[in-house]
Chain A
Amino acid sequence: MSAVLRTVNRVLIGLVGLVLLAVGGSVLAVGLGLNPPSWWIHDAGDDVLLSDAERTRWQDAGWWWPTVIAALALVVLLTLWWLTAVLRRRRLTEVRVNTGDGEGALLRGRALESVLTSEAAQLDGVQRAHAHLTGRPDAPQTRVHLQLEPHVDPGTTLNYLTTDALAHARDSAGLKSLPAEVRLTGVKHKAERVS
């Protein structure tokens, strides 16, 4: 998931939260007997949420309905974009390999992923591994998920991963760097007595 989308997610969630909190909180406060300032939309506890007069205030103005429809259409389009961006799983299909002679080659992302996965799975103390490429073709990044076997030191395993699997993948694809995000989980198992 790209850094932009992460920010967008948080900003939009925060905005929706702010609106909900402001509306809900103000209605709650006024409804429970707080005296609002005179310019506020609600006067006192016996005021209604949205009176007919308030709702139809601008209805006769020529700009009202086009504006409402345009605003709603904008919201629909933006949320549609947001939803598809959130749902879509970005996968890097190709990695541009610098062959060093001025020409380039394209490496299939899946190939690099499967090599990384199998190399990581072969490391000492790793039961299962999964690698996933993200980023751009000329600057790929990877996310690796490792499931650790019992009786290994996670720090040691991470070091093996860094120096073996990740270094191999980076070097064999001729990349200057391969930023990686690694998650380590354990395999659930029973505690064993040492006999």
Chain B
Amino acid sequence: MTASILDGIVLGFQFGLLAAGLTLVYGLGGVLHLAYGQMAVISAMVVLFTLDAGVPVVPAVGIGLIAGGLLGLILDLTILRPVYRLQGEARVLLSLLLTLGVAFVVDGFLNWRYPLVGLSLHVGGGPVELLGVPMRRGSLVASGVTLASFLMLFGFLRGTALGRAVRSVIEDEEGARLVGIDPRRMLRIILVMSGVLAAIVAVTRSMVAPVTVTAGFSITVFALIVTVVGGLGSVSGALLAGIILGVVNSIAASYIGTFLSLIILLAAAALTIVLRPAGLLGVRE
């Protein structure tokens, strides 16, 4: 049981970080980013090919993170341009359709060109004992990196003028305009950040299990579920929901079966919508 819970927390940090990126993009700009998992996969492939080219791990990961950020920027400058011209529901729908299109194209290309390729980063050394459970070093390093990323994200949002500006757009876009903030610029910054977050998740995930070219959609689906449970626009909600769902997923997988764990996660999300439509820490409209 302890082992399942610890595994679940490790997974939960990653779920949380995934959802943080998605929830910020949605909360800030009403853009539902369904190519999010593909951004993570492309970043993982960039790390893989950089490693294959003989570059050491740390700079290769750095290049992967930059690639993630660039992907966000490219999306902002190209496919999302027509989306920004729309408002409200139309914006959500068009962003959903266009990013879904991107996701299909990326998935199709990767499957055709690089089938059966996956990134696995091996963290050396034997298992480390934690609460009487032997934990793989990879899991611990992954959790450390994910938590550090969360702390940096919170620090940015709470402690910097730019982070405050980002939050103000989530709170009230017109209010933000009235204090001289350009919401478009904030959204661009957040899309770049979400790309970097997706890359961090891809890299840390690969320390625990291989990230394959086909992982994109399942990453997006997990991120969506966690986002809904955590509350749209809430980063702390994403972390909390990530941990809860990570533990639920891991216990369900070891006691009921992996095939049912996704259904149990979906049920948890559906239950949240019924009981708390705004999510755990979301704001009620």
A-B complex is real: no
Residues of B within 8 A of A (CB): none
Residues of A within 8 A of B (CB): none
